[in-house]
Structures are given as C-alpha cells and as structure tokens.
Amino acid sequence: MEPARDAWELTRARMVEEQLARRGIVDERVLAAMRRVPRHRFVEEALRERAYGDHPLPIGDEQTISQPYIVGLMTALLELGGREKVLEIGTGSGYQTAVLAELARRVCSMERLPRLAERARAVLEDLGYTNVWIRVGCGTLGWPDEAPFDRILVTAGGPAVPPPLFHQLAEGGRMVVPLGDEVNQRLTVVEKVHGEMRTRTHGECKFVKLVGKYAWEP
C-alpha cells in the first residue's frame, strides 16, 4: 500500500531541502520542479519506499535512475529558461525527462532499450506530460530531424562528446555530459560559441556507459 499523497509530497520536499538545496543547488525553478515530479512513480513498486533516498536505484537492463542530487545538478547546469527545445540522451526511467518537461518547452528523449522507452512513455503519459517525445535508437547519433537543440543532456558516461550531438547543438547552446572512462567521469558543460566547442567541468561522477557508434561498444 502506497503512502498518502501528502506524505509523498512531504518526502519530496525533504529530499529537495536536504539533498539539493543544502548542497548548493539554488535554481528555484529546478528545486520547484523536483518538488512536483513524483519520483516514486518512476521505479518498480518494490523500490518505491527508497525512491527519495540519496542514491541511484536499479530500473532493469543494468540501468539506473540517477541520485536526486545528480538530477538536480545536471538540470541546473543546463540553465533552462522555459522556451528551450531539449534533447535528452538516455530516457531510462523517464524521471529526468519529467524534470526537463517541467522546465522546457519541448523535450525529445532517446533511449536505446525499447522496454525502458515504453515504460517511461507510459508513466509520462499517465502523469499528463504533453511536451515529451521519445524515440528508440542510438543516442550518439542524436535526433537530426528535430535539430537544432537549445540544450542537450546526456545521462550516460562517454569517452568524448559525440560529434553528431555537438553538430545538432544550436549556436549559443549548452550540453551537459559525463566524460571519462567506463568507470569514472567528470560532469562536463559544453557550449557552442561561434561554432567552436568550449568546455568546463563540475566534479567527478559515475554513470552507466554511453553505448553507441560514437561511444562504447554494446
């Protein structure tokens, strides 16, 4: 039996205060979005009591739903104003997708695993999100017929920025991507300035592998 709705809301509020705000995430739009999105809906029922803990959780197929702090940090680094078209690489559970949908005009999300894509699509539709589109395919190739994108978020770790993704990033746009080896990465902000790539890093992180033509082999 699930806790009452107000209990989930209190749990989310505590998560945001203790795990995000106290660690320096100050973007109020991001904090508000994460107070609204019901994270527990994006994990298996048996794990719902752990959904708001300070850790990632398995979602099947050797994939995870990221730690709430990481979701908040990556979202804040995108600096969304509300009018952007966002490309997300790695739909996974759909939780990060929902947070983006709260803050952007349009979210195009790619997932290479059909089962995860279908489950995420079902949950997002059930929650009433109408500004999300999900496609199954190789995320490192991007979504050319929807490009350019104002923002790109990659939710898996790769060895380098996939060239198609940088090509599909709008001039003046921003990408957040974990870069490194197959075990540890650094959270990296990529900006396109006069067609050139500028990068800066924001600390170490650990993500599942980015799999595809321009990343790690399956």
Question: Which has more confidence, 3 or 132?
Answer: 132
**Segment 118-134 mean pLDDT:** 98
Q: Which residue has the tokens 């290479």?
A: 112
Q: How far apart are CA 193 and CA 179, in angstroms?
A: 20
* Contact residues for 38 (Cβ-Cβ < 8 A; gap 6+): 8, 12, 127
Catalytic-role residue among 63, 66, 96, 109: 66
Q: Which CATH architecture has domain 56-205?
A: 3-Layer(aba) Sandwich (3.40)
The crossing angle, in degrees rounded to 10, of helices 28-36 and 5-15 is 150
Q: Is the pLDDT of residue 187 over 70?
A: yes
Q: What is the dihedral of CA 185, 88, 42, 77, to 10 degrees?
A: 60
| Residue 200: pLDDT over 80 | yes
Average pLDDT over residues 105-128: 98
The confidence score (pLDDT) of residue 6 equals 81
- Is position 66 annotated as part of the catalytic site? yes
Closest by Cα among 55, 56, 53, 9 to 35:
9
Residues in the chain: 218
* Backbone region of residue 91 per phi and psi (left: phi > 0; alpha: psi in -120 to 50; beta: other values): alpha
Reported as a single tens digit per residue, the pLDDT across 80-102 is 999 999 999 999 999 999 999 99
Q: Which residues contact 201 (CB under 8 A, 6 or more apart)?
A: 186, 187, 188, 189
Mean local confidence (pLDDT), 191-208? 95
Residue 51: predicted pLDDT:
97
Give the pLDDT score at 2: 57
Tell me the pLDDT band of 108, cut-offs 50, 70 and 90: very high
**What pLDDT score was predicted for residue 3?**
60
How many Cβ atoms from other residues are within 10 Å of residue 91's Cβ? 28
The predicted-structure confidence for 42-59, as pLDDT tens digits, reads as follows 999 999 999 999 999 999
Find how far residue 39's CA is from the centre of its chain: 13
Mean pLDDT of the chain: 96
- pLDDT bin (cut points 50, 70, 90) of residue 1 is very low
Q: Is the pLDDT of residue 161 over 50?
A: yes
- Residue-wise pLDDT for 138-149, tens only, equals 999 999 999 999
